Structure 1
């Protein structure tokens, strides 16, 4: 029913350009305080967020891993005969 445009936009948008004006001003102040440009600040922020997601995903996978020998023996010992 709806058609999507297959053409790519001519203007390349940066993460900073997609922010609301108040949020962009806030991030600009933080970038200035850190001594970097707004674009670099936003790129670094995105990298930090991605690394946090990756570490959380790894922690979740590790938590779902097979329990160790001691844990399995304790679970077995607590089961009724």
Structure 2
């Protein structure tokens, strides 16, 4: 792992690794792989929202006034 862990963090991760029947090194590697897989499987961005009330109002205000002939 690239970042340094404090002793308490290392102890916490060691407990979690032992609970899952793994060594600390294998546990940290598996966590990194899961993290990479999660970032790779991100959902595509949501479609843009339709214009709001004030945006539509301003757009309409900038249009010329229609006159009846």
Confirm or deny a common fold (TM above 0.5). Answer: yes
Query: TM-score w.r.t. structure 1 length?
Result: 0.51
Residue 20 in 1 paired to residue 6 in 2?
yes
Number of paired residues?
A: 47
TM-score by length of 2: 0.59
Matched, 1:60 2:66: no
Residue ranges of structure 2 left out of the alignment (5+ in a row): 48-69
Superposed counterparts of 1:16-55, under 5 Å: 18-55=4-41
Q: CA separation in 2, counterparts of 1:26 and 1:52?
A: 22
Determine which structure has more spread, i.e. the larger CA radius of gyration: 2
Aligned CA-pair RMSD: 2.1
2: distance between equivalents of 1:17 and 1:38?
15
**Structure 2 CA distance for partners of 1:55 and 1:48, relative to 1, 3 Å:** same
